[in-house]
Structure 1
Amino acid sequence: MSVTAAIIVRNEEHFLPDCIRSLGDFVDEIVVVDTGSTDGTIDIARAAGASVTSFEWNGDFAAARNAALEKVATPWTLYIDADERVSLPGGGRIEQALDLTEHAGGYVRFRPRPGYSRYREPRLFRSDPSIRFKGQIHETIVPDLVAYARAHHLTLPMTPVCIDHFGFEGDQSHKVLRNIPLLEAEVGAHPDRAYCWNHLAEMLELDGRIDEAISACHRGLASTSEDGSIKDRMDRRQIAQTLARLLLETGEEADQVIERLLQEGHDDFATLYLAGRLALLRGDADSALRIGRQLTAIDTDALEIGMIAYDLRLFGEFAWALLGGAYHQAGRRSEAGEAYQQAWLRAPGNMAYLAKAAALGAAVGRPSDASQANPA
């Protein structure tokens, strides 16, 4: 058994060296498909011993990914991007995480950006011509991989392999300009793709087009089904959460969206936090306090690896700020000041927390105190 890492790139000289270094001895080969780099990306890949081919970019990520798969000659493939890093706790080789005779592929423990929890991502799979990517953007192998597993009576287990993504750090304006047209085309052709609707709304928000972002959420909810796979339902829920957040931030009515999420049993932590914000807005300090305490009590190291990732600020900065507002609303000034101080300790760049803590009489600590801060 051997594994090839398949990477598509374009002007990734900043990220690619660390990606290749992270692969180390985990894989046997590296295939790099370049879609039009004008920097040192190709030279870096070749110097690292990767097999490099060119692919004329046509606005279709699946096509580029599949071009990379065509170059894979090993029994297994790991697909990874240049702005990601792979690791295997305890060392060893990636193929040791899977049994060739029993599995069609496996899920890795994926962190979508620093400060988020991990979730399941199907990145490791058999190199079979029936398994190919689909989707112009947010391309996926899941339909083909699941079909292959069922046809061959194989499983798709969770593996100890970890991948961390760093591409959301820094200026995202170039991705916004690129992604909005691609996402609009994708949801036009495949309106049932909830993940793409949610990402479209987020990109429109980043571009300052808030009304259009809210509209995209409404259209996404109307175009997707409540009866899809677990992943589909999770993605659809994220559309509703994005809509609720945008409505709260623009001062519009969010009650029905949040109440529907809660009624459907979608009482995950992101929904719970939104419910806390709504409670505070409605003057229900007791409910906001209950939710804030629940969130700050979560052991983030013990979060289950599920189908979605959580922004860890939900359990730290945001939850403590929620508590600060709730205590203040309840007339408990001292506790409000302490809560805002805890929020500031976790986000020392947010001077509003510090100002509120000081105004409420808290003995302001130091940002370095966050590691010793009481999480309860």
Structure 2
Amino acid sequence: MQNRLLGIHMIVQNEEHHLARCLDSFKSIGSECFITDTGSTDRTPEIARHYGATVLHTRWEDDFAYARNISLPLASTEWILCLDADEHVIQGLEELLDYLPKVHKSVSRLRITIENQIGEGAGESVIFQPVRLFRAHQGYRYAGRIHEQLVRGGTRDGGEQEGDDQDMNDSFAYEKGWIAEHEPLAPLRLVHDGYLPSTIAKGDKPLRNLKLLQQELADRPGQPFHLYNVGVTYCQLGNIELAAEAFTESFLHTPLHAPYRSTLVRDYAKVLLAMGRYDEGHWLLAVERQRYAGYADLHLIYGEILEQQGLEERAYKSYARAANCREGSKGSDLKNNRKAEIRGIHQKTIEQKDDPESDVIRESNSLDDIYREPNRIDRHYVTDMGCDSYKAYTAMGRLAQKRGFLQESAHLYSLALGSEVTYAPAWTGLADVLQQSGETDESIAETLLARWKEHSTTTSTGPGVVTREDGLTHVVHALASSGAYGQALKLLHGVDRNIRIRHEEYLYWLLCANRVSEALQYVRNQWSEELGEVKNLQPEQRVDLALTCWVNELSVSDSLVATAEPQEREGWIMMNDLLDVREQVHVEDNRDEKTVHQTLQAATELSKNILIRAVKTGQLAFARKLYEKMVVINPDYDKGGVHSRWMAAVLYRQGYTMAAADLLIQCMSQGDLDAESFFYLGEAVYAKGHYEQALILFQQALEKDSEQRQARAGAAVCYMRLALGVIRQELTRSPTDKVLMAQQTVLEQQLRTAEGIPWRTVFHARERRNQLADQAHFIMHDREG
């Protein structure tokens, strides 16, 4: 029996993969359901009728409002809920039925909460609260061929069109209509996954939307709301340059009172950040985060921009403001004790004075000001999940770790996990800072397991139920991310055998732990040739299987070689022959020169992929062996030192700095260094405190490439350190010289900013371990012979 309180109205086209899930989530309440089909060629109408829906057929007229309005006059229920097929209920349905009869007669529209998934992981969702519920037969209808808006009687009382729906894209939120600032929030929560990157890749929604938006702009040139949505659509299509142009035009013409303006500012700032236009983003948010003081997303983005500019103290405070936005909101979990915890964290950093001329609007240095809830209108912002909690805490933890406040950093990562126990970056950060603090792998594992037990009793903010196995999976991955492969494998071999780890990951961890015999046995058990389980391997996974065979001095099977792309197979065959200990290294001479050249070229390209994987798994002896064999069969393999420099860069980025330095010093003696190589050598020398020598190397990098940003920043930092050294030396002679003291203070602040700019190679736990490990000698060969 259908209830007469609430009816569902939808428009669909070819939604057979989503519709059943959507309708099934409402099945328990027996709602009246009207589905307007605009020309499906799949099983959509059949599925709709199976759930008892009334299916209305119409032609698609390039007009969403036209299609959505068809079913509204047919409603026999008091309330109408408008849905899309790629949405479904996750909570609040029964509560909604209890809530609706209590709504005052003067209220005719209600907001609901929607989580728009923009990625597969925890926290990759955008929260928005559009008006989707309204009373039937009250004169409501939709207007607009795209991003249709709910209107009544054509206009609002003041003559302004009334609209209130929204939608999202894969990485930037947009409003399908105006945000309703004052309508009550009903207790219904949906999930929308129609704009997941994987879903967008299968269809043409962005191109369809762009076409309709261009039609709207042809009718109403310069309309800022449509320009904004054009920008969002270009983001979906991956063209952020055109997105920035559209956002700029929209921002210039959008009224300050427009309810969608806050979301426009957010998305505009995201694009500027993604494009590296940090100064523009800085000035935009320096003003706008004051206007929207409770918008956590703006504070978080502002912090990211400040980090890129080297303003780490102020970035930290901006992240703290983002976390503070949670206070005072419904469902707040930031209690006074939590505030007190954060208030004491990293205090030395956030109490340092800011550059007085770095912003149009000064930020307060007072912690009381940072944590005071600002006076503001109650706004319903479109927001990324976690910006006001676990993402902000994780960003603060990362900065505290970078500045050497390791205990505070670990505490902040733990706070993040207290808000969202499935947030992988917080698990990774916690394992990383514990390793940096000198904890043993056993201690790291114990701490992570204790944190899981502590936080798994709290409620996750994301949808769905987190099982014990899911949580332990995060612990295992965090251990592996920190290079504690032995502990990760030990946990997998313990009582928790239900932890879900992909076979490819497990094999990779075995190689990284140098358990090569066990890796070989695992390959034989999991990738049976008879079952053809190697056919669907990714190139990287195929290399891991081959590497497992070669480090055990075995040849790769013909079936594995057969899975490679046709143009690569000759290279695989040559590599297999090359690494067969039973064979002499040679090149077949019974083939024509062109064929031999093509085979050598394929083998050379393949050798790069194999070398990268060998270095990542720590198989340096094998990497050296492969390199030497390639030199024997191909005298041009390292012509001009190109390959040696490439190999040095691979080693350096994985933390094998000494092995990389060996190669680069040999190349330098033969005049073979490029800008990147000079930078790596300069950075290695800088890390040892030899600033004059580092400066010379950075300058040589700039002579090779004047656009080398990292070398330019390195040179600037060296100049500052050398100047500071001179000032400090002078102060020993004249300790009361106020001019020198003032110069020292200014220069130290400038040095902190310059050091904060992300110019140095980032080494995490795995790379730090490699810096301390025994490193194979990589002086390759004498090219002068």
Same fold (TM over 0.5): yes
- Alpha-carbon deviation of 1:290? 2.5
CA distance in 2, matches of 1:208, 1:31: 35
- Alpha-carbon deviation of 1:86? 3.9
What does the per-residue CA deviation read over 1:308-341, in whole Å, with 9 as the maximum and x for residues that have no partner?
Answer: 2321132455324422442245343565577578
Q: Which deviates the most, 245-254 or 56-65?
A: 245-254
CA distance in 1, matches of 2:416, 2:382: 21
- Alpha-carbon deviation of 1:6? 0.8
CA distance in 2, matches of 1:206, 1:11: 21
- Alpha-carbon deviation of 1:296? 4.5
Superposition pairs of residues 169-208 of structure 1, within 5 angstroms: 169=196, 170-173=198-201, 174=203, 175-190=205-220, 196-208=226-238
Query: 1:278 aligned to 2:278?
Result: no
Superposition pairs of residues 222-241 of structure 1, within 5 angstroms: 222-227=252-257, 232-233=258-259, 235-241=260-266
Aligned position for 1:124? 133
Do 1:7 and 1:33's aligned partners in 2 also have CA atoms closer than 8 Å? yes
CA distance in 1, matches of 2:385, 2:24: 28
CA distance in 1, matches of 2:104, 2:429: 55
Relative to structure 1, is the Cα distance of residues 164 and 208 closer, same or farther in structure 2, using a 3 angstrom cutoff? closer
Structure with bigger RCO (C-alpha 8 Å, 6+ apart)? 1
- Alpha-carbon deviation of 1:95? 7.7
Q: SS of the residue aligned with 1:85?
A: strand
Query: 1:23 aligned to 2:32?
Result: no
Equivalent pairs counted in the alignment come to 366
Point out where structure 1 has 5 or more consecutive residues left out of the alignment: none
> What letter corresponds to residue 17 of structure 1 in structure 2?
A
Query: 1:164 aligned to 2:173?
Result: no
CA distance in 2, matches of 1:338, 1:139: 46
Find the structure with the greater CA-based Rg.
2
More helix by share: 2
CA distance in 2, matches of 1:101, 1:195: 32
Superposition pairs of residues 291-330 of structure 1, within 5 angstroms: 291-296=318-323, 298=326, 302=331, 306-316=379-389, 318-330=391-403
Point out where structure 2 has 5 or more consecutive residues left out of the alignment: 118-122, 160-181, 333-376, 459-785
Relative to structure 1, is the Cα distance of residues 18 and 142 closer, same or farther in structure 2, using a 3 angstrom cutoff? same
Q: Which deviates the most, 318-327 or 247-256?
A: 318-327
Q: Which deviates the most, 141-150 or 260-269?
A: 141-150
Q: TM-score normalized by structure 2?
A: 0.41
- Alpha-carbon deviation of 1:87? 6.5
Relative to structure 1, is the Cα distance of residues 200 and 352 closer, same or farther in structure 2, using a 3 angstrom cutoff? farther
Q: SS of the residue aligned with 2:265?
A: helix
Relative to structure 1, is the Cα distance of residues 198 and 38 closer, same or farther in structure 2, using a 3 angstrom cutoff? same
Q: SS of the residue aligned with 1:314?
A: coil
Do 2:306 and 2:312's aligned partners in 1 also have CA atoms closer than 8 Å? yes
> What letter corresponds to residue 326 of structure 1 in structure 2?
L
- Alpha-carbon deviation of 1:49? 1.2
Relative to structure 1, is the Cα distance of residues 108 and 336 closer, same or farther in structure 2, using a 3 angstrom cutoff? same
Aligned position for 1:109? 112
RMSD: 3.9
Do 1:241 and 1:271's aligned partners in 2 also have CA atoms closer than 8 Å? yes
- Alpha-carbon deviation of 1:357? 4.5
Sequence identity of aligned pairs in percent? 23
Q: SS of the residue aligned with 2:238?
A: coil
Do 1:107 and 1:123's aligned partners in 2 also have CA atoms closer than 8 Å? yes
Aligned position for 2:35? 32
- Alpha-carbon deviation of 1:67? 1.4
CA distance in 2, matches of 1:257, 1:280: 16
CA distance in 2, matches of 1:278, 1:219: 22
What does the per-residue CA deviation read over 1:32-88, in whole Å, with 9 as the maximum and x for residues that have no partner?
Answer: 110111111100111111111111011111011011224334443221111222477
CA distance in 2, matches of 1:94, 1:305: 26
Q: SS of the residue aligned with 1:33?
A: strand
CA distance in 2, matches of 1:311, 1:62: 28
Relative to structure 1, is the Cα distance of residues 145 and 16 closer, same or farther in structure 2, using a 3 angstrom cutoff? farther
